[in-house]
Structure 1
């Protein structure tokens, strides 16, 4: 059984840190409200976490390091993808250049296996979203990577299987990269169908490639001093965004 969570709406950011306020804003598209959180790699460092140094899972966003290895402050953190009941990531998981979980190309049920799925990868100066097969073939240099699914936009085209499906409206969140340095996370304020969410990335955000990260009912976002981000059942992989210290 896969477990998943969603982000939260813009109201949760009221009174948050200046960095989080600068990166997150409300956005409307086709009559639906969203929250966009955009982080330029020139100003922010994106990190991926799963296990603590002792090998146990972090489980809760509030347990993540409040500063990174260079002393940059944590701006916000959120769920990083789908995971098994033991919190192990379902697909590829790379931290600091180390592959902790191999890419998952097996067939199976659920959104993760609605092919093509994809991989969000990033480093110090470059980030991207790529279909899983293309990623494994091209092998781009990635210090961090997380696999999720399905892809929402593939080379400017909507996922063919989702576009024809009549799916229910649920809270949804995803990620794309504009250029190769601007990472954009999007969360619906309420329930939206998959096809609507796909068009948000292609037509609203002008993303060539976009990946579905998660969807469901339990919000999971941590903003230091403002929101705990904890959920009852805990989390597996987590994405954290840190301010880069000024010279």
Structure 2
């Protein structure tokens, strides 16, 4: 599938793969204001897309958002989390329970002009400087290969969401499945259709998407980290 042409800050479309439906939202990370959200100015968790939108200044508009990493019951991040240069949670490199601990896991790293997915140990070795970062797991695609522990005959199927990035770090491609899928199916969509060399799983069951261009704003359980694109209205001159 050819990457959609960016006509605005975010381009979203529904794509079919092996009789399953996926919503794909593509962001030019070199041009757009792509960032992470967790708390308001008083430290309260935002948790829902409308709260993120309301937290923005009047001249800014939320044009896309998605849940972006696993969290504890209090909505604090399970793994490494950095927002606007401030670290809330350190990098975790050891084994743990659940999907987050299905090693290797990874980190989604944002700078003012790029977006990259790193496998966690590679991230620890390279020590990139991220303006925003969120750690999640498992990795879906690692240097062009599927996660080694994904089973083609798995019976575990959920609505899932994640992100893949291009090798030059210029494009971030966010995906949510519209049908319940296995890890193997979801990973192959990133590898074979989107052809992203690295892709990271964000979550399942509680996967959410805000895409106003598709008239979509998913509601449900409160979320922890959220990734979004913010557009700024041009200044009005007299």
Distance 1:63 1:224, change over 3 A: farther
* 1:245 Cα offset (Å): 5.2
Task: State the Cα deviation string for residues 132-191 of structure 1 (Å, max 9, x = none).
Answer: 111011011210000000001101111111146724222111101123111100111101
Matched, 1:139 2:127: yes
Matched, 1:157 2:145: yes
From the two aligned structures, give the one with the greater strand fraction: 2
Distance 1:60 1:85, change over 3 A: same
Q: Counterpart of 2:182?
A: 193
Q: Counterpart of 1:238?
A: 226
Q: Could you tell me how far apart the structure 1 residues matched to 2:73 and 2:170 are?
A: 33
Where does structure 2 lack aligned partners over 5 or more consecutive residues?
1-6
4+ long deviations beyond 3 Å: 65-72, 222-230, 244-247
User: Which residue of 173, 177, 187 corresponds with 1:184?
Assistant: 173
User: Which residue of 188, 195, 199 corresponds with 1:206?
Assistant: 195
* 1:43 Cα offset (Å): 4.0
Q: Which moved more, 1:43-52 or 1:206-215?
A: 43-52
Q: Could you tell me how far apart the structure 2 residues matched to 1:50 and 1:189 are?
A: 25
Relative contact order (C-alpha < 8 Å, sep 6+): which is higher?
1
Where does structure 1 lack aligned partners over 5 or more consecutive residues?
1-17
Matched, 1:63 2:86: no
* 1:203 Cα offset (Å): 0.9
Aligned pairs, number: 227
In the superposition, the TM-score normalised over structure 1's length comes to: 0.83
CA RMSD of superposed structures (Å): 2.5
